[in-house]
């Protein structure tokens, strides 16, 4: 499937996954890949920090739009922009939008805001989703990529409108909840992409999360990204000792041992991952996109391009029904 069509299938892409699987990195890579397909993209993050600024070699995200990667030029790339939407900011914005700016300070200073958010749990999550919905409605970009809270939280995050809808009765919050529910239920407006590693616990969790999202929220699921797959270079499975015996190069005994051990470790690692990839495809009827393990502790723009390059052929290989 052509990446431009893949990314045009819905206007909001919610990227979710357990902590440590590379969810934010994948959000960045998806945004970059969409921009390379010519779609202007806005990356939305909910908490400060994370790898996004390093990946784009850009300043930290703030509550204001900033360009993370400028498009244009002969490649036909579009812009990637980014911004931070914190729950507190979403709440303040909501109060201002409803003529309540006046009482915001009093709500905050008396601590009444804690009473409000406890009385209506999920209100912050709902208001964040409301902001995303507003970005979507105003067509601020062709695609909005939301770096969602870590899985587990992802389900409760997306459940917030349903929960609040029954708790608050009629009123502006209920209207907001209805609007967000409408967006979540419409596969042409919104899809969730889950990210996992090819390891036992993350695979179990991604399966549970996928079923919970589908059954409890009814949101459309895109392909699952399996991140951190370690490559097996061609020829690594050949018999090492035979190759060494045939080689004219002078290699010390210590080096021979190191080379042999490193190769054995890599093959074992890849085999373990492959078992999990197979298990995932048997347990979860979603197509998969695979991204490679990055051999660096400080991923930057070069690694972002590597990951984006890895996503493109996977997307090309998807069939129409997979998107």
Partner 1 sequence: MTSLTTLLEQQTVIVCVGAGGVGKTTTAAALALEAARRGRRVCVVTIDPARRLSDAMGFDPDRAIGNEPQQIDFAAKGELWAVMLDTSTTFDALIRTYAPSEEQAQNILANDFFRNIADSMSGAHEYMAMEKLYELHNDERFDLVVVDTPPTSNAIDFLEAPDRITSFLDHRLYKILVTPTGGLARVVNFAAQGFLRTVARIVSASVVDDAIEFFATFDGMEEGFRGRAVAVHDLLIADDTAFVLVTVPRNDTVDDAATFIKTLADADIAVDAIVVNRVHPSFGSERLDGLGDGPLAPFITVLHDSQTVAVGQDTVLATLTNEVPAGAVVKIPFLDTDVHDLDGLASLAQWLTPEGKP
Binding site for partner 1 (CB under 8 A): 18-21, 50-51, 95, 98, 100, 103, 106-107, 110-112, 114-116, 118-123, 150, 156, 167-174, 200-202, 204-205, 233-236, 238, 240, 243-244, 246-247, 249, 251-252, 254-255, 258-263, 265-266, 268-269, 272, 295-298
Which residue, 50 or 222, is less far from partner 1 as judged by CB?
50
How many other C-beta atoms can be found within 10 angstroms of the C-beta atom of residue 228?
21
Q: Say what angle helices 112-119 and 101-110 make with each other, to 10 degrees.
A: 100
Q: Write down the least CB distance from residue 215 to partner 1, Å.
A: 19
Q: Which is nearer to partner 1, 5 or 106 (CB)?
A: 106
Cβ-based neighbours of 260, under 8 Å, separated by 6 or more: 240, 241
The nearest distance, CB 318 to partner 1, in angstroms, is: 28
Q: Please, which residue, 34 or 217, has the CB nearer to partner 1?
A: 217
Counting every residue, how long is the chain?
Answer: 323
Closest separation in Å from C-beta 249 to partner 1: 5
Least distance to partner 1, CB of residue 74, Å: 33
Cβ nearer to partner 1, comparing 199 with 214: 199
State the nearest-atom distance from the C-beta of 273 to partner 1, in Å.
10
Taking alpha carbons only, the member of 55, 56, 51, 3 closest to residue 24 is 51
What CA–CA distances, in Å, run from 219 to 185, 212, 306? 5, 10, 30
Question: Tokens 């909840």 appear where?
Answer: 177
Q: Are 16 and 194 in contact (CB under 8 A)?
A: yes
| Closer Cβ to partner 1, 78 or 198, answer by number | 198
Residue with structure tokens 């969730």?
192
Residue 143 pairs in a beta bridge with 41
């Amino acid at each position: 499937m052509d990446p431009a069509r893949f990314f045009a299938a819905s206007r909001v892409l919610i990227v979710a996954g357990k902590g440590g699987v590379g969810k934010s990195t994948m959000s960045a890579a998806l945004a970059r890949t969409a921009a390379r397909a010519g779609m202007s993209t806005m990356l939305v993050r909910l908490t400060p920090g994370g790898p996004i600024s390093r990946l784009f070699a850009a300043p930290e995200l703030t509550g204001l739009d900033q360009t993370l990667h400028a498009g244009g030029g002969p490649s036909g790339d579009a812009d990637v922009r980014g911004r931070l939407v914190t729950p507190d900011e979403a709440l303040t914005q909501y109060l201002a939008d409803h003529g309540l700016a006046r009482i915001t300070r009093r709500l905050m200073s008396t601590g009444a805001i804690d009473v409000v958010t406890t009385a209506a749990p999920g209100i912050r999550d709902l208001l964040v989703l409301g902001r995303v919905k507003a970005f979507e409605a105003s067509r601020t970009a062709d695609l909005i990529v939301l770096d969602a809270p870590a899985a587990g939280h992802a389900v409760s995050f997306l459940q917030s409108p349903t929960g609040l809808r029954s708790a608050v009765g009629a009123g502006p919050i209920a209207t907001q909840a209805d609007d967000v529910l409408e967006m979540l239920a419409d596969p042409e407006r919104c899809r969730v992409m889950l990210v996992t590693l090819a390891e036992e616990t993350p695979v179990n969790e991604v399966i549970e999360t996928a079923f919970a999202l589908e059954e409890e929220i009814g949101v459309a699921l895109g392909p699952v990204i399996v991140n951190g797959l370690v490559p097996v270079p061609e020829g690594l499975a050949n018999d090492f000792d035979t190759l060494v015996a045939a080689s004219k190069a002078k290699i010390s005994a210590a080096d021979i041992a190191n080379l042999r051990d490193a190769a054995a470790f890599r093959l074992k690692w890849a085999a373990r991952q492959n078992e999990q990839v197979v298990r995932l495809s048997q347990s979860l009827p979603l197509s998969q996109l695979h991204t490679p393990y990055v051999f660096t502790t400080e991923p930057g723009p070069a690694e972002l391009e590597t990951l984006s390059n890895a996503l493109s052929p996977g997307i090309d290989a998807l069939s129409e029904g997979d998107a």
